[in-house]
């Protein structure tokens, strides 16, 4: 398979759901788009919560077979590949998720995620070559190997954990990165660093990214192409600059209008009133206890 093109044609995803008229919920309806590796590009998929973005990501990653329609790679249905073809697909199409913490096993040092990639995809023939590759990849994402190797996941910040996933991608050099809300939990500075690394990967390692987000400002920063999804329906698509400057669909205009605009001439002067009566029940607003991982 040399023709590195992922193509969705008429993808529909329905789920059983209680409380709907026919007992089904249509998460994705009739989605069609193409992701090409050459030339490498960034394609953003933007829409609000529940619009079907992660479902599309799962369809593309081969984790969820659509109810109707096809996902093909090099012209072949990805749900119908031979073992060898599927392995090649999974090497060439790599995910980055919002919360990498769930990918790390809390009982193993973070090195293990990187070593597993080295071994699974036979990236190095000796231990020394594997170590050199891991160090080079960590440095490529601005992580100091001496400071992150040997640590447990909880000893790293969210931004560091997320960059370890980028280091893994740097090692694997996939043709496609499927990034589902990868920066939603990062602060502005680390978010920019993450997006710059993705843009570097596009330029230097010729990777195409499907970037999934609910945040138009990150779409704007990345540039490239954008698809706007609402209620499982891709309602608008095109170059980021034209879609954002001349949106043609009312939903895109709504998304644009919901970006807060700082206005120094119109500062917020009202004080927020806090009800400090002793009867106020604040426990409900507190963060829930962390769920045990095992
Ligand atoms: N496995 C499933 N079974 C039933 N319903 C599902 C399943 N996966 C997703 N859904 C439903 O499909 C719809 C789309 O979900 P999806 O996770 O794709 O949205 P999203 O755009 O990624 O949202 P968010 O921005 O919150 O991540 C939602 O209504 C969701 O509840
Ligand atoms: Mg999602």
Task: Note the pLDDT tens digit of each residue in 34-92.
Answer: 999 999 999 999 999 999 999 999 999 999 999 999 999 999 999 999 999 998 999 99
**pLDDT of 105:** 83
Query: Considering the domain boundaries, does residue 52 fall inside one?
Result: yes
Q: Which domain holds residue 39?
A: 5-259
In a mutational test of the pocket of ligand 1, which residue from 27, 45, 219, 229 has the highest number of ligand atoms less than 8 Å from its CB?
A: 27
pLDDT at 2 over 60: no
Domain count across the chain: 1
Of 42-51, 100-109, 266-275, the poorest mean pLDDT is in 266-275
In this structure, is residue 10 part of a structural domain?
Answer: yes
The answer, yes or no, to whether residue 285 has pLDDT greater than 70, is no
Lowest mean pLDDT among 97-101, 177-181, 244-248: 97-101
Residue 116 Cα, ligand 1 centroid: separation in angstroms?
30
Write down the pLDDT at residue 36.
96
Task: Tell whether 283 is covered by a domain.
Answer: no
Query: Per-residue pLDDT for 276 more than 80?
Result: no
State the pLDDT at residue 271.
Answer: 64
Asked if residue 12 belongs to a domain, the reply is: yes
pLDDT of residue 19: 84
Shortest-distance ligand to the CA of residue 50: 1
Cα(279) to ligand 2 centroid in Å equals 37
Residue 291 forms part of a structural domain: no
What's residue 173's pLDDT? 95
Q: Look at residue 185 in the predicted model and tell me its pLDDT.
A: 84
279 in any annotated domain? no
Does ligand 1 lie within 6 Å of residue 238's CB atom?
no
Q: Once rounded to an integer, what is the mean pLDDT over residues 178-201?
A: 92
Q: Mean pLDDT for the chain?
A: 88
User: Which of 52, 230, 231 maximizes ligand 1 atoms within 8 Å of its Cβ, making it the mutation to test the pocket?
Assistant: 52
CATH of the domain at 253: 3.40.50.300
Considering only 101-110, 120-129, 175-184, which range has the smallest mean pLDDT? 101-110
Higher pLDDT, 259 or 239: 239
Residue 293 reports pLDDT greater than 60: no
What average pLDDT does the segment 164-189 reach?
Answer: 93
Residue 291 in this model has a pLDDT that exceeds 60? no
What DSSP line would sit under the chain, residue for residue? ----EEEEEEEEEEEE-TTSTTSEEEEEEEEEEEEESSS--EEEEE--TTSSHHHHHHHHTTSS--SEEEEEETTEEGGG--HHHHHHHHHHEEEE-S-GGGTS-TTS-THHHHHHHHHHTT--SSHHHHHHHHHHHHHHTT--HHHHTT--GGGS-HHHHHHHHHHHHHHH--SEEEEESTTTTS-HHHHHHHHHHHHHHHHHH--EEEEEES-HHHHHHH-SEEEEEETTEEEEEEEHHHHHHS--SHHHHHHHHTSPPP-TTS---SPPP----TT---GGGSPPPPPP--
Ligand 1 contact, 55 CB (< 6 A): yes
Domain for residue 284, yes or no?
no
Indicate whether residue 49 lines ligand 1 (CB < 6 A).
yes
> What is the band of 267 on the pLDDT scale with cuts at 50, 70, 90?
low
Q: Is the residue at 293 inside a domain?
A: no
């Amino acid at each position: 398979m040399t023709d590195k093109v992922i193509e969705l044609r008429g993808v529909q995803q329905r789920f059983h759901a209680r409380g709907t008229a026919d007992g089904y919920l249509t998460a994705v309806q009739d989605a069609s788009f193409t992701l090409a590796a050459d030339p490498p590009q960034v394609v953003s998929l933007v829409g609000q919560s529940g619009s079907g973005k992660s479902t599309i990501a799962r369809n593309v990653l081969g984790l969820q077979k659509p109810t109707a329609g096809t996902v093909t790679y090099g012209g072949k249905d990805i749900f119908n590949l031979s073992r060898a073809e599927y392995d090649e697909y999974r090497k060439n199409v790599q995910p980055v998720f919002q919360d990498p913490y769930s990918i790390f096993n809390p009982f193993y040092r973070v090195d293990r995620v990187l070593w597993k990639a080295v071994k699974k995809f036979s990236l190095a023939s000796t231990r020394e070559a594997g170590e050199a590759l891991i160090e080079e990849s960590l440095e490529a994402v601005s992580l100091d190997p001496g400071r992150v190797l040997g640590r447990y996941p909880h000893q790293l910040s969210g931004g560091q954990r997320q960059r370890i996933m980028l280091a893994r991608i740097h090692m694997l050099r996939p043709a496609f990165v499927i990034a589902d809300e990868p920066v939603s939990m990062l602060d502005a500075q680390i978010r920019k660093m993450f997006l710059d690394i993705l843009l570097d990967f596009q330029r230097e390692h010729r990777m195409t990214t499907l970037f999934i987000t609910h945040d138009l400002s990150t779409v704007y920063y990345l540039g490239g192409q954008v698809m706007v999804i609402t209620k499982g329906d891709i309602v608008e698509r095109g170059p980021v600059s034209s879609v954002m400057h001349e949106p043609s669909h009312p939903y895109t205009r709504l998304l644009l209008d919901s970006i807060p605009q700082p206005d120094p001439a119109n500062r917020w002067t009202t004080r927020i009133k806090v009800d400090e009566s002793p009867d106020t029940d604040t426990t409900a607003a507190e963060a829930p206890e962390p769920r045990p991982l095992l």
